[in-house]
Amino acid sequence: MSSQPPFPAFRVLISHDEILRRTHELARAIAQATGDEPPMLVAVIEGALPFARLLQRLLPGQLPVHEVRASSYGSGKTSSGEVKVTVGRDLGVRGRHVLLVEDIVDTGRTVHALQRHLLAAGAKSCRVAALLSKPSRRVVDVAIDHVGFLIPDEFVLGFGMDLAGRYRELPDVVVYDADVERAFTSAVAAR
Ligand code: PRP
């Protein structure tokens, strides 16, 4: 039997155990902050789904997870920086306290656009929970109410985050390294 792991041995930045421990803390803080009126959980797909499902399990009330997506306008390599809501335009947020759940806040454009959209749609409030934040990449100043980990400007994958659809299912948050990926691919091909 081969001892080859099923994925390239990328450097682990945040282990699954650390994610679980920190998300427990976040869930406690969220429950305290929201009090008697449970929030409506709105996950930014695809990447935030594992984090949102974990929060869902840890928060009281068996809250459903609603899905929303915001995408950059236009095509081509240069993003205009504008984002539009493409999934979940009509979630029924009117009169609800929303908790927007993100895997990572990078430039802040996605959170900014979604908060504006949800508040314009009648949400009473829109707080943000993000597993990761890269403050050094921020372009738009957004307030993150509940943040799991502040991380440096590294290309991270796993626990929902992908590279062209790959590695979302990794349990840890890892740092992408093209050399590590190439070595893994060669080793698999040589088997
Ligand atoms: C990622 C992440 C956030 C967004 C953050 O989504 O899940 O939604 O980017 O970036 P920003 O702060 O610069 O706006 P991505 O576009 O990779 O989509 P995915 O989750 O479907 O992979």
Residue 157 near ligand 1, beta carbon < 6 Å: no
Ligand 1, closest atom to CA 109? 14
Is position 141 annotated as part of the catalytic site? Answer: no
**pLDDT digit string, tens, across residues 131-170:** 999 999 999 999 999 999 999 999 999 999 999 999 999 9
Residue 104 Cα, ligand 1 centroid: separation in angstroms? 7
Q: Is the distance from the beta carbon of residue 172 to the nearest atom of ligand 1 less than 6 Å?
A: no
CA 36 / ligand 1 centre spacing (Å): 31
Distance, CA 4 to ligand 1 centroid (Å)? 31
- For residue 102 and ligand 1, the question of a CB distance below 6 A is answered with yes
Instruction: Name the one residue in this structure whose structure tokens are 């915001």.
Output: 70
**Which of 36, 90, 103, 106 is an active site residue?**
106
- Give me the long-range contacts of 62-71 (CB less than 8 A, separation at least 24): 63/38, 63/39, 65/41, 65/101, 66/40, 66/41, 66/42, 66/91, 67/42, 67/43, 68/42, 68/43, 68/44, 68/100, 68/114, 68/118, 69/44, 69/45, 70/44, 70/110, 70/113, 70/114, 70/117
What's the predicted TM-score (pTM) here?
Answer: 0.93
For ligand 1, the distance from its centroid to the CA atom of residue 98, given in whole angstroms, is 19
The predicted-structure confidence for 28-85, as pLDDT tens digits, reads as follows 999 999 878 899 999 999 999 999 999 999 999 999 999 999 887 654 444 566 788 8
